[in-house]
Structure 1
Amino acid sequence: MEAALVSVATGVLELVLGKLGTLLGDEYRRFKGVRKEIKSLTHELAAMETFLLKMSEVEDPDAQDKVWMNEVRELSYDMENAIDDFMQSVDDKDEKPDGFIEKIKNSFWKLGMLNFRRRSGRDIQDLKKQIIEVGDRNGRYRTGVAISNSKNATVDPRALTIFEHASKLVGIDEPKAEIIKLLTQEDGRTSAEEPLKVVSIVGSGGTGKTTLAYQVYQDLKGKFDCSAFLSVSRNPDMIHIMRTIHSQVSHQEYSKTEAANVQQVIINISNFLADKRYFVVDDDIWDIDTWDIIKCAFPTTSYSNRIITTTRLNNVAHSCCSTFSGHIYYIRPLDMVHSRQLFHRRLFKPGENCPSYLQEVSEQILEKCHGLPLAIVAISGLLANTRREENIWNQVKDSIGRALERNPSIEGVMKILSLSYFDLPPYLKTCLLYLSIYLEDSTIGKKGLIKRWIAEGFIHTEG
């Protein structure tokens, strides 16, 4: 049986369930008094673990749910201690005593253990009672609002970045030219022979994938019979996505694209595009299954058609490009020259230079941003609202993480980066949050960190 893991979402509930399962095994069959309670407690905790895992994927859970989740996690540690004590009491002193004195000592020990086991049984009953009370209390004070499955319900802040005028964008000319070349080169074949071609842009959140794809789209869409640009997002409504494609390529009002189901919309799109040249950008695809649905709408009977996809995930990019003739383009962070240009443009007027006393701290801030456009824009926006004093800029440099959390003008950064966090499995979320025990900007040794993760029960020893 695979070892259980400790999780930030569920505490040690998985460990507790494993130990309760052990107590229900043949080795502990003689303790009939607590087996019924253990079975009941196991069912209760299994349901709670499922709920906590579901809640861990909600970006902004209800305040009452947060309180309830914390209570259950704390109780899981108390339960683990009680179960460990009980198991220890029944596992000790299995050997037969020799001699009269040893028999007397053993009798007294057994009497003490009997009382201890009774006490442990009561502890398990008390813990079960606490768990049920916590659940009941949560039910009494809930407002009746169901948990939302939407992981991206608010307005995506990237939607605004694509409308920046090209003249305001920094470092985009070279990657844009590279993408256009990948899309337009014909590989020695005539346009009549050339199949549908896909370019998938890959990069982490905030690297400018959407902005780059939109600028390419603006340059090339006029060369095709029909075109579409849409954001897929992490938790897409597929019928809405397909109706949006149909509306854009056919120039029909969205209300006129209504169909009974996704399959019917796909058929409508495919029939419309069958004899046309089209160019479509599918921005922000998070999983292969989503792409497998979207690609069905694009016929390969006509030639010289083009699709751009953007994604954070390599496996999604490979899937997009393996379907048709395709190229993967890995977006690069801004170099220091372009980083500095973007940083200064947001802070100083045209023709104005960065004061000499702020140049060193500016460079240090840019090094922390690692060429991530979103981070540079966020930090420069924060500094634009502060005095141009070296000590203030140094404070921002030394607390960039905390500054991001506090400043409401750059909530968009946290929103975008949080998507990557919420896409992680529970055990990796725990591993990532564990890094907060280290001092900011400290060097973290890989081997030591992995040993800590294993010791804490976050990951298995193997793999």
Structure 2
Amino acid sequence: MEGALVSVAAGALKPVLEKLATLLGDEYKRLRRVHEGIEFLTQELSFMEAFFVKMSTEEDPDVQVKLWMTEVRELSYDIEDSLDDFIEHAHDKSSKPGFMKKIKNLLDRTKATHKIAKAIEELKKQITEASERHKRYAIGDSISKVNNVTIDRRALAIFEDVSNLVGIDGPKNELLQLFNQEIRCESRHQQPKMISIVGFGGLGKTTLARQVYEELKEHFDCHAFVSVSQHPILKEVLGTIFTELCKSRSKRRKNKGQSLPLSSIEDVPQLISRILDFLADTRYFIVVDDIWNEEIWDVVKLAFPRNGYDCRIITTTRVINVAQSCRSSFNGHIYNMDPLSMVHSRQLFHKRLFNSEECPTHLEEVSSQILKKCAGLPLAVIAISGLLSNKEKTKDQWCQVESSIGRGLERNPTIEAMLKIISISYFDLPPHLKTCLLYLSIFPEDSFIEKKMLIRRWIAEGFIQKKHGYTHYEAGEMCFNELVNRSLIQPRLEKDKWDEVIVCRVHDTILEFIVFKSIEENFVTIIGVPGVNSDQHKKVRRLSVQNSGEIPVGLNLSAARSLSIFGNDVKVPSLLEFKHLRVLGFEYCKQVQDHHLAGIGNLHHLKYLRLNLVQITKVPEEIGKLQYLETLAINCFSQKALVPSTISQHGRLVHFIAYGCIMPDEIGGTEALEVFETSLDRHQSTVFFGRGLGDLTNLRKLRLAVSSYKAQRELACSLRKLVKANLRFLAISLSGKLNNLVEELNLPAECSLQELWLWGHSISKVPIWIGSLVNLQKLSLRLSSPCQEDLEILGGIPDLRYIFVRNEHCPSAEQLKAAMKVLMEAHPNHPTLVWQQEWRSMA
């Protein structure tokens, strides 16, 4: 059912159609009434789907139409749940033979069949009534599909411009002057110098604070940058401050420094005491970003001592009263954030759309009108440029966008006006991208969201349509890239070694909008966020529980398709309350223990399961019953969890991550696996595991953290088998002296491998076999002391594009120059060479 997408607009209408056609088309021909109903539904629902798509582009549809769409959408979810229950029951293989058992199964099957027939009649009735109200469906123009979308580098450049270039130098210099730049003064009569940056959302307060922080932090003994957000948990905020301070001091002194045993921290006073002790005789620089109320600041400020060592504190806020409170705490300054000038707005706008500061003559006038309405809000400029980048560069197209903005921003440049611009960008999206964007509302404010995890969730929810010639994940990656290109999600500018986006975040103003839309459409129910109230009388479709949230008694959870728990203070509900989950995620949930997973085997429709930083001792054996499971990610907090042998029963498992786990020997049964990540130690030292690994011939990506492994020969043999099949990416992190494993690999020249990571413990020399890998494009390794022979081997790799090298001793300028000369002469495509210890990129 690759084309049966679930969407915000139409709910589960498409999956319902395909499941009805598949299930009842052949097996139940005797049920004439059902077949007539299916034929009617097929015709009507095709028109309804087009009508839903058209109406999804309307900001304010007719109230009657909106109510009708909601009714049909909710009904579609219920019908699909009934179909899924029937399919599960009809294909139940657990029943034992016997006359009475067969009679019971027949009766149950008959009841289920009539239940479906009744449900079809109910849906037919609803559609008939709708047809009488709407005699004719007006079908709008079809919305183009996104094909093979990659991230537009200009979309990334616009965020870099905001961070580093556009209009930031002036405000940054003003803040530096306020600090007087007396960073070497050690008068014991001084208290910390404080600046509170204030301004409404979308102005770039965080960006400005970050720029000053990066400019000055190295002048201090320790430093920290922490985001508070609208609904913070004080213990986590203070814990983050302490952790960042410890890390910065450790890095500066090149030792382990003081660590923070978070599990032992039980209350806020204890954390404040630890921070005060840590900073007592220290010059520190701390940024506390996005403070929403004075009460939070009144607690956080207690952790900052007046130690007389000329320290610095910056806060950012939208609320003038909070800024005044921050200033009075340390006799500091308030800096009012101004909008961008027209010159800087135009620079930011043109950089994204035209890759220069020049605008085509025929668009100059309308561009000026658009920028005038953006009123100097960087986020507004970014959102509108993302919208226009997907439209033809014609005056008529741009004038339509300009007229749709209205005059709100010119009169009232506030959050409400900002939401207007975001709504225009949202309603311009095709239906599948609307759905993918609104799904981001499940994540807490200020979350850094892993791209891979997000795409896996989209797939499990049924939002991604598989495209010919691409994997399901690659199709999801196109959707992710399109949202980046439209500037609706922000890539985290710290990319991976290959300069690829791996993490994103949602600006808090955009998050405010998509949370509102998600609740309005009953797409997501959010618990634990003050001020966000969902209708408790509606059935929950997707549930996100955050902060210290507790699910209200009486909330209907039986129809929930996904459950996402975020944080250590959330009360975990019983899985027995859920019947139709497709997605289950526990994020940073140390409170989750073995008993919380009771009943997981009854979640027959589960496709995605993530247990991140939990404290379980074993994965339930009944996980083997989850025949639709496609993604399983486990990361245990404090002890290793035993993964049962029933994991080998998963014929559909595609993505499997298991860290802090003890894997069974029987791993070869999961033959559909495409991505596998795990750690190997003395618990996984058996010959059987190494051999079974070689049976996973569908693997595209394999990541192994090896600390101890006796059966190295069998492991190397399996790896050679995998690269001869489909393996494109291989990463081996060596925690011990395992040079023999690297030598034993001896991968064949004619293999599928495109990326190779040899990480962790350094190897003494580059193996000769690496130089013959004909398809290798990216290589990352750690050498104890690279020599000329190593460089010559690297220079012999025919298709190499990127090299990432780390060595124990910092290379001299002469070594870098010699290495670059060898590689450049060997590769006309000019690979990128990076020596990690110096972080020097040479192109």
TM-score by length of 2: 0.30
Alpha-carbon distance between aligned partners in 1 of 2:360 and 2:347, rounded to the nearest angstrom: 15
Equivalent in the alignment of 1:379: 384
Equivalent in the alignment of 1:403: 424
Counterpart residue type for residue 226 of structure 1: C
Counterpart residue type for residue 368 of structure 2: E
Q: Is the 8 A contact 2:196 2:317 kept in 1?
A: yes
Q: Is the 8 A contact 2:163 2:207 kept in 1?
A: no
Alpha-carbon distance between aligned partners in 2 of 1:269 and 1:379, rounded to the nearest angstrom: 43
**Of 337, 358, 378, the match for 2:363:** 358
Equivalent in the alignment of 2:202: 206
Matched, 1:223 2:219: yes
**Of 234, 242, 245, the match for 1:246:** 242
Higher mean alpha-carbon deviation, 160-169 vs 382-391, is at 160-169
Instruction: State the 1:194 CA deviation.
Output: 2.4
Equivalent in the alignment of 1:340: 346
Counterpart residue type for residue 387 of structure 1: E
Counterpart residue type for residue 176 of structure 2: I
Report the CA distance shift for 1:162/1:280 in structure 2 as closer, same or farther (over 3 A): farther
Equivalent in the alignment of 1:235: 231
Equivalent in the alignment of 2:834: none
Instruction: State the 1:195 CA deviation.
Output: 1.7
Equivalent in the alignment of 2:266: 260
Report the CA distance shift for 1:240/1:387 in structure 2 as closer, same or farther (over 3 A): same
Instruction: State the 1:394 CA deviation.
Output: 0.6
Alpha-carbon distance between aligned partners in 2 of 1:377 and 1:200, rounded to the nearest angstrom: 25
Instruction: State the 1:349 CA deviation.
Output: 2.1
Alpha-carbon distance between aligned partners in 1 of 2:530 and 2:340, rounded to the nearest angstrom: 26
Return the structure number with greater relative CO, CA threshold 8 A, min gap 6. Answer: 1
1:428-439 aligned within 5 A: none
Equivalent in the alignment of 1:312: 318
State the SS of the aligned residue for 1:284. Answer: strand
State the SS of the aligned residue for 1:280. Answer: strand
Counterpart residue type for residue 259 of structure 1: I
For structure 1, list consecutive stretches of 5 or more residues without a partner in the other structure.
1-66, 71-159, 427-463
Question: Which structure is higher in strand share?
Answer: 2
Report the CA distance shift for 1:191/1:340 in structure 2 as closer, same or farther (over 3 A): farther
1:12-411 aligned within 5 A: 164=160, 168-184=164-180, 191-251=187-247, 255-256=261-262, 258-350=264-356, 353-400=358-405, 401=420, 402-406=423-427, 407=429, 409=483, 410-411=487-488
Instruction: State the 1:425 CA deviation.
Output: 8.8
Alpha-carbon distance between aligned partners in 2 of 1:295 and 1:167, rounded to the nearest angstrom: 27
Equivalent in the alignment of 1:40: none
Q: Deviations over 1:181-204 (max 9, x none)?
A: 112356xx9744322111000000
Q: Is the 8 A contact 1:348 1:354 kept in 2?
A: yes
Alpha-carbon distance between aligned partners in 2 of 1:161 and 1:235, rounded to the nearest angstrom: 31
Q: Deviations over 1:283-310 (max 9, x none)?
A: 0000001001100101102321110000
Q: Is the 8 A contact 1:234 1:285 kept in 2?
A: yes
Q: Is the 8 A contact 1:274 1:302 kept in 2?
A: no
Instruction: State the 1:256 CA deviation.
Output: 5.0
Counterpart residue type for residue 293 of structure 1: V
For structure 2, list consecutive stretches of 5 or more residues without a partner in the other structure.
1-66, 71-155, 248-257, 406-419, 435-482, 490-505, 517-528, 533-843
Q: Is the 8 A contact 2:186 2:308 kept in 1?
A: no
Q: Deviations over 1:39-71 (max 9, x none)?
A: xxxxxxxxxxxxxxxxxxxxxxxxxxxx9xx9x
TM-score by length of 1: 0.53
Q: Is the 8 A contact 2:190 2:308 kept in 1?
A: no
Instruction: State the 1:385 CA deviation.
Output: 1.2
Q: Is the 8 A contact 2:193 2:310 kept in 1?
A: yes
State the SS of the aligned residue for 1:323. Answer: helix
Counterpart residue type for residue 194 of structure 2: V
Counterpart residue type for residue 360 of structure 1: E
Counterpart residue type for residue 382 of structure 2: V
Q: Deviations over 1:225-249 (max 9, x none)?
A: 1000010000001111111111111
Instruction: State the 1:257 CA deviation.
Output: 7.3
Q: Is the 8 A contact 1:227 1:249 kept in 2?
A: yes
Instruction: State the 1:353 CA deviation.
Output: 2.4
Alpha-carbon distance between aligned partners in 2 of 1:243 and 1:256, rounded to the nearest angstrom: 7
Q: Is the 8 A contact 2:488 2:510 kept in 1?
A: no
